[in-house]
């Protein structure tokens, strides 16, 4: 598997934050712990320590999800990669955003795609040796998106909603990319990404704004400074005109 390539590129792993191996909807462990330990060892990522059961978000949400068998209200976790929705919506070669791409590495391709869309400096820190040329030549700046930000002190979590330029067979109209940023270091890290329907995107843009809101980390994200995944913070949503 191409996961063994990742060990040679620690800068790729550094583009991701941490996730919990638990699905709140199904109330189940997402991937057997021994599988995640094996994936982490092959990729050069140490197993999470302590009761938080935190794992590398990129490895969990890609290779880990391919091994998950739990049924969630949204189906199997692997469906976001097995189905061609993301590639269809972006107008990419079918299979390029899946677990067995014709060119590039699974995690590297997904990381490049997401970073190019939401990171301040784009995907310049993703090792190009592992990335499909098609992704490197794609005009990412032509895509339109909106951002919902939830902030706690120097830490911010971004929900970026990227409108697909092309229709998908399943009807999803946006790509949701969840990431975090630490203002003290300027470091941005990816947390997850998946296609969503238009009404979900609209609902996220209409969330209450303001200061001192009771907020939570989303999509099984984990941060060691946020106890129980809950915090009091500020939310900023895009204006209706956007």
Q: Residue 39 in contact with residue 3, Cβ under 8 Å?
A: yes
Length of the chain: 242
What global pTM score does this model have?
Answer: 0.94
% residues pLDDT > 70 (the chain) = 95
The answer to whether 61 and 107 have CB atoms below 8 angstroms apart is no
- Asked if the structure places residue 82 within a domain, the reply is yes
Q: Is residue 242 domain-resident?
A: no
Give the pLDDT band (50/70/90) at residue 234.
very high
Question: What pLDDT is recorded for position 122?
Answer: 94
Q: Reduce the DSSP state of residue 4 to 3 states and report it.
A: helix
* Residues of the chain by 3-state class (helix, strand, coil), percent to 5: 30, 25, 40
Residue at 178 is within a domain: yes
User: Would the pLDDT of 49 be above 60?
Assistant: no
Give me the pLDDT at residue 51, please. 45
Residue 220 falls inside a structural domain: yes
pLDDT of residue 98: 95
Q: Which of 90, 133, 110 is nearest to 6 (CA)?
A: 110
> How far from 126 is each of 9, 117, 120, 145, 222, CA to CA, in Å?
9, 13, 13, 21, 22
Query: What is the rounded average pLDDT of the residues 180-203?
Result: 97
Residue 241 lies in a domain: no
pLDDT exceeds 80 at position 177: yes
Number of structural domains found in the chain: 1
Residue 61 forms part of a structural domain: yes
Q: Which domain holds residue 158?
A: 2-236
H or E segment and range at residue 115: helix 106-118
What Cα–Cα distance (Å) separates residue 100 from each residue in 56, 97, 106, 109? 20, 8, 7, 11
């Amino acid at each position: 598997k191409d996961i063994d390539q990742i060990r040679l590129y620690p800068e790729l792993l550094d583009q991701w934050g941490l996730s919990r191996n638990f699905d709140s909807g199904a109330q189940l462990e997402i991937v057997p712990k021994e599988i995640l330990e094996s994936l982490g060892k092959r990729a050069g990522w140490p197993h999470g320590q302590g009761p938080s059961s935190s794992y590398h978000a990129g490895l969990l949400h890609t290779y880990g999800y391919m091994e998950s068998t739990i049924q969630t209200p949204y189906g199997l976790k692997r469906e976001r990669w097995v189905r061609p929705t993301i590639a269809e919506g972006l107008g990419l070669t079918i299979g390029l955003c899946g677990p067995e791409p014709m060119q590039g590495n699974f995690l590297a391709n997904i990381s490049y795609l997401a970073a190019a869309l939401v990171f301040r400096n784009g995907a310049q820190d993703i090792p190009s040796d592992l990335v499909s040329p098609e992704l490197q030549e794609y005009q990412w700046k032509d895509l339109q998106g909106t951002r919902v930000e939830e902030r706690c002190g120097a830490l911010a979590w971004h929900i970026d909603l990227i409108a697909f330029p092309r229709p998908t067979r399943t009807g999803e109209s946006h790509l949701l990319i969840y990431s975090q940023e630490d203002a003290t270091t300027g470091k941005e890290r990816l947390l997850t990404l998946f296609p969503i329907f238009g009404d979900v995107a609209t609902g996220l843009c209409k969330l209450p704004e303001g200061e001192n809101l009771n907020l939570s980390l989303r999509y099984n994200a984990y941060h060691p400074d946020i106890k129980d995944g809950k915090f009091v913070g500020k939310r900023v949503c895009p204006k209706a005109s956007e």
